[in-house]
Amino acid sequence: MITMSSRLSPHRASLVSAGLIWIMLNGLGSALALESGPVAPRLTPKLQKLFAEEMIAVQAASQQILAGLAAGDHASVAKQAQAIHDSFILDKKLTAQDRRDLETALPPAFLELDGTFHRLAAKLADAARHKDRDLQTYYFGRMVESCQTCHSQYATDKFPAYGGKAPAAHMH
Q: Is 75 inside any structural domain?
A: yes
Judging by beta carbons within 10 Å of its beta carbon (0-12, 13-18, 19+), is residue 122 exposed, middle or buried?
Answer: middle
pLDDT in 10s for each residue of the chain, 172 residues: 333 433 445 545 444 554 545 444 444 433 333 467 888 888 899 988 888 888 899 999 999 999 999 999 999 999 999 999 988 655 667 889 988 888 888 888 988 898 899 999 999 999 999 999 999 999 999 999 999 999 999 888 888 898 755 455 545 5
Q: Is 1 inside any structural domain?
A: no
Helix/strand/coil percent split, the chain, to 5: 70, 0, 30
Quote the domain boundaries for residue 129.
Answer: 8-29+38-155
Q: Is 106 inside any structural domain?
A: yes
Q: Is 47 inside any structural domain?
A: yes
Domain count of the fold of the chain? 1
Q: Is 45 inside any structural domain?
A: yes
Q: Is 2 inside any structural domain?
A: no
CATH number, domain containing residue 107: 1.20.120
Which residues lie across from 41 on neighbouring strands?
Answer: 29
Instruction: With 0.85 as the threshold, say if the pTM is over it.
Output: no
